[in-house]
Amino acid sequence: MDSMTLIAVASIITAGLTTGIGCLGPALGEGRAVAQALTALAQQPDASMTITRTLFVGVAMIESTAIYCFVLSMILLFANPFWTHAVGQAAGQ
Q: Does 91 bind its own copies (CB under 8 A)?
A: no
* Binding flag, residue 92, its own copies (CB under 8 A): no
Asked if residue 84 binds its own copies (CB under 8 A), the reply is: no
Interacting positions 15-54 with its own copies (CB under 8 A): 15-48, 50-52, 54
CB of 74 to its own copies, least distance (A): 9
Q: DSSP secondary structure string, 3-61?
A: HHHHHHHHHHHHHHHHHHHHTHHHHHHHHHHHHHHHHHHHH-GGGHHHHHHHHHHHHHH
